[in-house]
Copies of this chain bind each other. A is one copy, B any other.
Amino acid sequence: MGKYVIGVDVGGTNIKLGLADARLNVIDRTKFATECFASDPTFLINEIAKQISSLIERNAISDRNISGIGIGLPGIVDHSKGIVRFLPNISGWKDIPLKKILEKKLGIRACLENDVNLIALGEWKFGAGRKVENMVCMTLGTGVGSGLILNGSLYRGYSFSAGELGHIPINEEGPVCGCGSYGCLESYVGNKRLVLRASEMINDPDISLEKMHALAKKGNRTALKFWDEAATHIGHALVGVVNMLNPQRIVIGGGVSNNHEFLFKTIHAVIQKKAMKVPASVVKIVRAQLGNDAGILGAHVLVHEHK
List residues of chain A with CB under 8 Å of any chain B CB: 76, 85-86, 133-134, 146, 148, 150-151, 153, 155-165, 167-173, 179-182, 232-233, 236, 239-241, 243-248, 273-276, 278-279, 281-283
Contacts and interface: CB of A to CB of B under 8 A. Distances in A.
Given A155-B151, A276-B167, A236 B160 contact: no
Closest 7 CB pairs between A and B? A157-B246, A168-B240, A164-B243, A181-B274, A158-B248, A162-B246, A167-B243
A281 B160 CA distance: 12
A175 to B, nearest CB: 12
Contacts of A248: 158
A278 B162 contact: no
B171 A171 contact: yes
Candidate in A156, A163, A168 with the most chain B CB atoms within 10 angstroms? A168
A162 B244 contact: yes
Copies of this chain: 2
A278 B180 CA distance: 13
Given A151-B151, A170-B172, A239 B181 contact: yes
Given A158-B133, A159-B246, A246-B158, A275 B181 contact: yes
A229 B173 CA distance: 14
A232 B173 CA distance: 12
Nearest to A274: B181
